[in-house]
């Protein structure tokens, strides 16, 4: 037991003052905010406010779906957008709910922390005068031994059972024992709420100091990747992260293997990369789904895979150029869509000038396994009988207009306005690996084969450990708070009444013991515990 | 093995259905013996204490005794049949796991099978410890049959291996704890609903759902059972959905939380159940109000199971229902 102080009498009420209306309003608003009723309403609002984020497409989760939603609902989408409907969890109204909730939580929990601290330092209060009025009561019984010695044994028994116990001597040789247990319930409760605050702070700092980017990585030494913002297909840096802060490393996909069930369901993926960190030597690392590559201040997570056809185009001047074009999978069988563009084709070697109307682009699908029924979808995700189906276009690709376009589709507006014309027949041309296709102007496209590619998400979150610690502590606090019971028991031991003494064995002393118990939280098992406790005390005294 | 699993699944549903019928029969017999019980009470003492002497004149109100006994007997049979159903249920899961060579909770069908198994097991555990609440069995088996029927009709998936994304030890930890928590929330939902019915019945409401409150245990006992089941399931759910889930998500997708629809609804359920626990701990909030919040919590769990799996696509799209 640490130092305990006696419960002091409440201080005299201060003289009434004229309330300042502003102060009164502030104080009342604060009281209202920190009341349990408000907290419940805010909790409920939080749950309701989270719903739209699961129904509407969310920009941070899937920006393409948001674009699609705009196309599908041209009237509604801008209104929803203004209300933050496509980024619910970063919207002002969602933030205001959880910030109010946490303000309410702090306002509720801080005073409780102080109260709890004081309660832990205070001795359990003295026994009430009438123990029989308590929910649990053990009737007075006569015991051998004098009150002081008996009280000491009772206190010992209680302390052994981890009750906070205080012995008090009262007038007339009466001893009272006050004992209290279950403070861990409130400690757990407070721990849980402060852990939630830790989680909130951790998540906040994580979004400030973390960053992430997505990148498509084609196998091969010429298609490596070094960590910088410009190298990402899509990236987001936290508010406090500068592009120069990104850790220094380079990745190169050297091998990728995927195995499948006979149904086409994937079985295993494995990516082998060559990693160079901080100008050190290159190392070979492997990673897969669920087992990311952990680098210094960055994790590389495998998200997807696909095929990148390698194509060589020989233009009308006999100049050829070879390039790799990742085609994005559209279904589980890896039917993949993409384009191959050659904006620098047909440059006159004499003048060195390029003719913008002689740019060439191909659009189509790649099927790793062409079905026997001629359907335009792949029938198996591995390359059993691959086929590339392309339409050729010649003209102005529109890549110089300065408007950023998708690198996986041709600029449809250029096709619509006739700047880019389809050549080489209306139906797509099928190409097997190694085959070539000669267009109407004598130029030639060769399909050299494919290389696998992977899509990776590279992330750094400096506070994920803090958030995890917060969550684990929160769970611990939650369990303590839900499993604990606060209760008090009192024993009063008085000397045997004088009448009894006079009647019989005078000089031997003897005592009368009475007990009462009070559960301070809903605790249906308390009567059992109380009876057992009284029995233990009784046995202790007699043995 | 897969075939055997499907057959055992049918046996399971039929057993729960039979248990439901027995509970219902007990319920209706009970209604008749409601009058007879008062008469039967002294009679039972006579029969119970005195040995039946042949020439003793029958002071016993004969028909009342068998009716009452038959009702109680049917209830006991119902519990036994539920136990049999639970064994068949276990068999369904084990054979399915053997057939797929992995834990049997890799898709929506198997998930519902596992959740209802936990629900059924917890229910039997509770009813064995407290036979007085046996009447709730009618509603527990009703919920079990409905969920299993839904699993078989809209979520059935042939046995298959796991996709690589699910192939992780977190698959065992995350999914099993979520299943445990969901199963206990499921059992907790029944006394919650019955408490509301009973509370309404005690207030004198006699329209349809409240008439069910005639034979159920006292409102206070139902309310306490509701709280204890929820207080047990809530930390499990916190661990499964909000600690193990994010840990796995971090390893798999690179971020511990990404507002995927399933995550959103797990968050909503967690907030609503937290709301219930707070409301129940607040003396100024009525117990019926608090219990309504628990009912809403279970509705959000169902939304997460059916609504999100079937209508909203996201990273947790393991349902495979209606497709493939």
Model confidence pLDDT, tens digit, residues A419-469:
888 887 788 999 999 999 999 888 999 999 999 999 999 999 999 999 999
* Integer CA distances (angstroms), A211 to A214, A244, A454, in order: 11, 12, 20
Predicted pLDDT of residue A396: 87
Residue B33 predicted with pLDDT over 90: no
* Integer CA distances (angstroms), A93 to A89, A103, A335, B259, B269, in order: 9, 15, 42, 17, 20
| pTM of the complete model | 0.86
Residue A9 predicted with pLDDT over 70: no
CB contact under 8 A, B274 and A43: yes
Residue among B172, B174, B176 at smallest CA distance from B184: B176
Contact B188, B99 (CB under 8 A): no
**Shortest alpha-carbon distance between residue A133 and chain B (Å):** 22
Predicted pLDDT of residue B62: 43
Structure tokens at B257: 């939380």
- Number of inter-chain CB pairs under 8 A, A vs B: 124
Rg (CA), chain A: 39
**Shortest alpha-carbon distance between residue A496 and chain B (Å):** 42
Predicted pLDDT of residue B324: 27
In chain A, where the domains are located: 21-118, 123-182+485-542, 211-460
Residue, of A135 and A352, whose pLDDT is higher: A135
Structure tokens at A312: 């060589």
CA distance linking residue B252 with residue B262, whole number of Å: 15
**What would the DSSP string read from start to end of B42-93?**
HHHHHHHHS---TT----S-TTHHHHHHHHHHHHHHHHHHHHHHHHHHHHHH
Structure tokens at B73: 């007997």
Nearest CB to B224: which of A472, A482, A524?
A524
CB contact under 8 A, B243 and A269: no
Residue A76 predicted with pLDDT over 80: yes
Predicted pLDDT of residue A62: 80
Lowest mean pLDDT among A69-78, A258-267, B310-319: B310-319
> What backbone phi and psi angles, to 5 degrees, belong to A519?
-75, 130
CA distance linking residue B273 with residue A46, whole number of Å: 13
- State the total domains in chain B: 1
Considering chain A, what is the average pLDDT of its residues? 88
Question: What ipTM does the predicted assembly reach?
Answer: 0.85
Tell me what the mean pLDDT of segment B90-109 comes to: 90
Q: Please report where in the chains the tokens 């159920």 appear, as a residue.
A: B216
Domain assignment of residue B54, yes or no: no
**What would the DSSP string read from start to end of A342-403?**
ETTTTB-TTT--B-GGGEEEEEEEEESBB-TT--SSBS-SS-SB-EEEEEEEEE---TTSS-
The Cβ of residue A129 has, within 10 Å, a number of other Cβ atoms equal to 7
Tell me what the mean pLDDT of segment A18-43 comes to: 86
**Shortest alpha-carbon distance between residue A473 and chain B (Å):** 11
Nearest CB to A475: which of B243, B259, B261?
B243
- Please state, for a pLDDT cut of 90, what percent of chain A lies above it: 54
Nearest CB to A269: which of B164, B235, B258?
B164
Predicted pLDDT of residue A540: 73
The Cβ of residue A31 has, within 10 Å, a number of other Cβ atoms equal to 11
Tell me what the mean pLDDT of segment A496-520 comes to: 72
Predicted pLDDT of residue B302: 94
Structural domain boundaries enclosing B161:
2-36+64-311
Distant-in-sequence, close-in-space partners of A536: CB < 8 Å, separation ≥ 6: A157, A161
Distant-in-sequence, close-in-space partners of B33: CB < 8 Å, separation ≥ 6: B40, B64, B67, B68, B71
Residue B64 predicted with pLDDT over 80: no
Predicted pLDDT of residue A14: 63
Identify all chain B residues contacting A288, using CB atoms and an 8 Å cutoff: 164
Predicted pLDDT of residue A12: 63
Residue B47 predicted with pLDDT over 50: no
Q: Please report where in the chains the tokens 């118990």 appear, as a residue.
A: A517
Provide the Cα torsion A341, A346, A348, A353; round to 10°: -40
CATH 3.30.160.110 fits A123-182+485-542, yes or no: yes
Nearest CB to A50: which of B235, B238, B264?
B264
Q: What is the pLDDT of residues A187-242, one digit of tens each?
A: 999 999 999 999 999 999 999 999 999 999 999 988 899 998 888 988 889 999 99
Tell me what the mean pLDDT of segment B74-86 comes to: 92
Domain assignment of residue B108, yes or no: yes
Q: What is the pLDDT of residues A116-154, one digit of tens each?
A: 999 888 888 999 989 989 999 998 888 888 888 889 999
Contact A366, A327 (CB under 8 A): yes
Predicted pLDDT of residue A499: 56
Predicted pLDDT of residue A143: 84
Predicted pLDDT of residue A431: 93
Q: What is the pLDDT of residues B120-174, one digit of tens each?
A: 999 999 999 988 888 889 899 999 999 999 998 888 888 877 777 788 888 899 9
CA distance linking residue A175 with residue A155, whole number of Å: 11
């Amino acid at each position: 037991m640490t130092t305990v102080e006696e419960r002091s009498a409440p201080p005299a009420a201060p003289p009434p003052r004229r309330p300042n209306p502003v102060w009164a309003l502030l104080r009342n608003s604060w009281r209202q905010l920190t009341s349990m009723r408000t907290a419940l309403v805010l909790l409920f609002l939080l749950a309701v406010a989270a719903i739209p984020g699961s129904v509407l497409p969310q920009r941070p989760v899937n920006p393409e779906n948001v674009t699609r939603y705009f196309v599908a609902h041209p009237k509604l989408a801008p209104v929803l957008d203004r209300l933050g409907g496509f980024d619910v969890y970063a919207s002002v109204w969602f933030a205001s709910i959880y910030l109010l909730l946490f303000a309410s939580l702090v306002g509720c929990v801080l005073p409780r922390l102080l109260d709890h601290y004081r309660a832990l330092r205070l001795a359990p209060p003295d026994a009430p005068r009438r123990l029989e009025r308590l929910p649990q009561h053990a009737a007075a019984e006569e015991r051998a031994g004098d009150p002081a010695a008996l009280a000491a044994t009772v206190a010992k028994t209680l302390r052994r059972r981890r009750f906070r116990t205080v012995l008090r001597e009262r007038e007339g040789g009466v001893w009272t024992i006050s004992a209290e247990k279950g403070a861990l319930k409130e400690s757990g409760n407070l721990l849980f709420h402060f852990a939630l605050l830790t989680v909130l702070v951790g998540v906040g700092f994580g979004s400030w100091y973390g960053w992430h980017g997505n990148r498509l990585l084609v196998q091969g030494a010429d298609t490596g990747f070094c960590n910088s913002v410009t190298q990402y297909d899509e990236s987001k840096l936290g508010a406090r992260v500068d592009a120069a802060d990104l850790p220094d490393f380079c990745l190169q996909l050297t091998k990728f293997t995927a195995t499948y069930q006979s149904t086409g369901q994937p079985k295993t993926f494995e990516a082998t990369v060559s990693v160079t960190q901080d100008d050190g030597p290159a190392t070979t690392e492997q990673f897969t789904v669920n087992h990311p590559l952990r680098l210094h201040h960055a994790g590389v997570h495998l998200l997807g895979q696909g095929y990148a056809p390698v194509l060589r185009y020989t233009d009308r001047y006999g100049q050829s150029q070879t390039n790799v074009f990742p085609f994005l999978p559209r279904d589980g069988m890896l039917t993949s869509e993409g384009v191959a563009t050659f904006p620098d084709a047909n440059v006159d070697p004499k003048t060195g000038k390029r003719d913008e109307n002689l740019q060439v682009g191909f659009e189509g699908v790649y099927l790793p396994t062409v079905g026997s029924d001629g359907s335009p979808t792949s029938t198996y995700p591995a390359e059993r009988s691959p086929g590339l189906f392309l339409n050729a276009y010649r003209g102005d690709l529109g890549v110089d207009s300065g408007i950023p376009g998708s690198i996986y589709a041709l600029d449809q507006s250029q096709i619509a306005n006739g700047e880019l014309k389809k050549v080489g027949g209306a139906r797509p041309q099928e190409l097997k690996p190694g085959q070539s296709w000669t267009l109407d102007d004598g130029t030639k496209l060769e399909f050299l084969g494919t290389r696998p590619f992977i899509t990776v998400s590279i992330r750094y979150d400096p506070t994920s450990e803090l958030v995890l610690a917060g969550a684990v502590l929160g769970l611990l606090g939650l369990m303590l708070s839900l499993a604990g019971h606060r209760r008090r028991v009192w024993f009063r031991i008085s000397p045997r009444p004088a009448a009894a003494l006079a009647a019989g064995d005078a000089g031997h002393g003897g005592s009368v013991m009475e007990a009462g118990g009070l559960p301070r939280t809903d605790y249906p098992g308390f009567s059992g515990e109380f009876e057992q406790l009284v029995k233990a005390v009784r046995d202790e005294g007699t043995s | 093995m897969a075939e055997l699993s499907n057959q055992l699944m049918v046996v399971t549903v039929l057993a729960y259905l039979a248990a439901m019928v027995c509970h219902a029969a007990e319920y209706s017999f009970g209604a008749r013996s409601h009058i007879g019980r008062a008469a039967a009470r002294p009679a039972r003492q006579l029969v119970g204490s005195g040995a039946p002497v042949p020439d003793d004149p029958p002071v016993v109100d004969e028909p009342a005794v068998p009716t009452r006994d038959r009702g109680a007997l049917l209830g006991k049979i119902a519990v036994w049949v539920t136990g049999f159903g639970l064994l068949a249920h276990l068999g369904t899961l084990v054979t399915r796991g053997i057939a797929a060579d992995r834990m049997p909770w890799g898709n929506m069908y198997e998930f519902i099978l596992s959740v209802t198994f936990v629900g059924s097991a917890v229910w039997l555990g509770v009813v064995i410890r407290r036979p007085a609440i046996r009447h709730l069995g009618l509603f527990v088996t009703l919920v079990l049959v409905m969920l299993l029927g839904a699993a078989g009709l809209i979520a059935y998936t042939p046995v298959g291996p796991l996709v690589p994304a699910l192939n992780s030890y977190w698959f065992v930890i995350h999914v099993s704890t979520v299943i445990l928590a969901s199963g206990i929330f499921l059992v907790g939902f029944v006394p919650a609903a019955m408490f509301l019915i009973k509370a309404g019945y005690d207030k004198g409401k006699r329209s349809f759902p409240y008439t069910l409150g005639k034979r159920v245990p006292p409102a206070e006992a139902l309310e306490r059972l509701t709280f204890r089941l929820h207080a047990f399931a809530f930390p499990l759910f916190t661990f499964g959905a909000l600690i193990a889930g994010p840990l796995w998500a971090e390893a798999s997708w690179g971020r511990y939380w990404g507002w995927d629809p399933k995550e959103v609804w797990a968050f909503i359920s967690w907030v609503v159940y937290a709301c219930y626990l707070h409301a129940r701990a607040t003396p100024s909030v009525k117990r019926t109000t608090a219990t309504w919040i628990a009912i809403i919590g279970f509705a959000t769990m169902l939304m997460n199971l059916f609504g999100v799996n079937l209508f909203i696509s996201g990273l947790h799209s393991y349902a495979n229902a209606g497709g493939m």
